[in-house]
Amino acid sequence: MRKSLIFFLKIGILVAAAVWLAQRPGRVTIEWLDHVAEMPVGIAAILVLLLAWIAATLGRLWRILRGGPGALGRRRNSNRREGGFRALSQGWVAVAAGDADIATKSAKAAEKLLREPSLTLPLAAHAAELRGDAPAAATYYKAMLAKPSTELAARKALLAQAMGKGDRPAALDHARRALELRPKADWPAKALAELEAGGGNWLEADAALVKAQKSKALAKEDAAPRRAALLIEEARQAVSTGRPESALQAAQAAFDLDPARVPAAALLARLLAKAGKHAKAGKVLEQTWRLSPHPDLAKAWGEVSADQNALSLVKRYEGLVALKPGAADAHFALGEAAINAKLWGVARSHLEKTRELAATQRVYRRLADVARAEKGEGPEAHGFLNQAMSAAADPRWRCTSCGTTHGDWHAVCDQCKSVDTITWPKVGR
């Protein structure tokens, strides 16, 4: 509409100019050197217009010739980048969908079109991992180490690869460098602690967690139980290498970090008793017993007593039962103390109570002991032994990562090398 209006306006102006010229006849004379040209005004006007048109066309052509090739190149370049980014996004979608073929093809296309390794190497590495080509993935990750923008991601992937292969020195190297690069990330600290713990370097492992906690990479409640686990092992190592002071210090630190932790309390209480601090040892056991009753605590309850007289111990275990009357382990321990003191009636009654709460093999074996002591080798003792064979097994420490059962608690599972995964199953009350 607007265009045609302008067109009619132009025609109108031309017609008006033609009419105006026609009404004013005359001639134009041009003299140039020895030449003289004479023509009517109309023709001269048309010539002027023609010259103007030719000049405008030549000017436009000149501009195209001067800026043309660059503009063309720029356009081709932007098309290539666009294609590269399209390939890149297709590749990441394929990675997310687990399509190794498309991911690999897209990675190659993106690499060719973009020529920006910091953008295309991560995709190429993921595609290689997806098709199960670990060496190729490692090559891409190693190339990523050279770029500051991709180094951390490469360290993370190479750390996982090294840990998977059991290459501890390489894994330590990647974890340490990653922690330097990003002190606020939690995974380098966790990995470093795990690796140091795996090597039995308990204090180094603890230091990694403390550092992570200080830089807020790990929350205190997340770091505390792990640190407690490591410090228990440190205390045990100090005991076995004849450093009682360090042992007591580490055990106390572990207990303070995680008072519900049975191995920490049991070890600390024994170390305190050894140092003559029997009352304090009892207090430690009492605190943890209230949080998590356990056979190891019940055992230590008797061991840390200054008075080892059999009857005194029965009295002491009566105190433990009173602390938490529903705890089967206290009744069982009292039953055993009563057997040692030859108080058969007391023993029988608390073993029966244990049977009500948690009827596992140990109860029947002790009931058989009582029956044998009271009535000799007979049908009652045999009956209990038979029941022991068909009863549920007594609970044991168990690794939540690999399922292996353990006779004692350890910070590192010797089967799967996981850190702080050995727990006590919840049974009875």
Chain residues binding Zn ion by CB under 5 A are 399, 401-402, 413, 415-416
Taking the CA of residue 340 as centre, how many other CA atoms within 13 Å lie in the half-sphere pointing to its CB?
16
Shortest distance (Å) from residue 410 CB to Zn ion: 10
Query: In 3-state terms, what secondary structure has residue 270?
Result: helix
Would you say 332 or 397 has its CB closer to Zn ion?
397
Would you say 340 or 400 has its CB closer to Zn ion?
400
59-97 burial string, b = 16+ CB within 10 Å, else e? eeeeeeeeeeeeeeeeeeeeeeeeebeebbebbbebbee
Which uninterrupted H or E stretch holds 39? Answer: strand 35-40
Shortest distance (Å) from residue 356 CB to Zn ion: 33
Shortest distance (Å) from residue 421 CB to Zn ion: 6
Structure tokens that stand for 88 in this block: 């890149």
Contacts of 116 (CB under 8 A, 6+ apart): 84
Give phi and psi for 393, each to the nearest 5. Answer: -65, 150
Would you say 114 or 399 has its CB closer to Zn ion?
399
Q: Amino acid letter at 420?
A: D
Query: In 3-state terms, what secondary structure has residue 397?
Result: strand
Shortest distance (Å) from residue 190 CB to Zn ion: 17
Shortest distance (Å) from residue 236 CB to Zn ion: 19
Which CA distances in Å does 13 have to 1, 10, 18, 19?
18, 5, 9, 10
Would you say 208 or 413 has its CB closer to Zn ion?
413
Shortest distance (Å) from residue 327 CB to Zn ion: 28
Would you say 190 or 350 has its CB closer to Zn ion?
190
What is the Cα–Cα distance from 57 to 102, expressed in whole angstroms?
Answer: 50
Would you say 12 or 403 has its CB closer to Zn ion?
403
Would you say 141 or 397 has its CB closer to Zn ion?
397
Would you say 129 or 420 has its CB closer to Zn ion?
420
Shortest distance (Å) from residue 226 CB to Zn ion: 16
The dihedral through the CA atoms of 117, 169, 251, 299 has a sign that is positive
Would you say 82 or 414 has its CB closer to Zn ion?
414
Closest-CA residue to 206 (of 187, 193, 189, 192): 193
Would you say 14 or 416 has its CB closer to Zn ion?
416
Shortest distance (Å) from residue 412 CB to Zn ion: 9
Shortest distance (Å) from residue 428 CB to Zn ion: 24
Shortest distance (Å) from residue 142 CB to Zn ion: 31
Regarding beta strands 35-40 and 27-32, do their DSSP bridges make them parallel or antiparallel, or are they unpaired? antiparallel
Closest-CA residue to 284 (of 269, 299, 297): 269
Rg (CA), the chain: 44
Question: Do 291 and 260 meet the contact criterion of CB atoms below 8 Å apart?
Answer: yes
Residue appearing with tokens 């103390």:
337
- CA triple 227-232-236, angle to 5 deg: 145
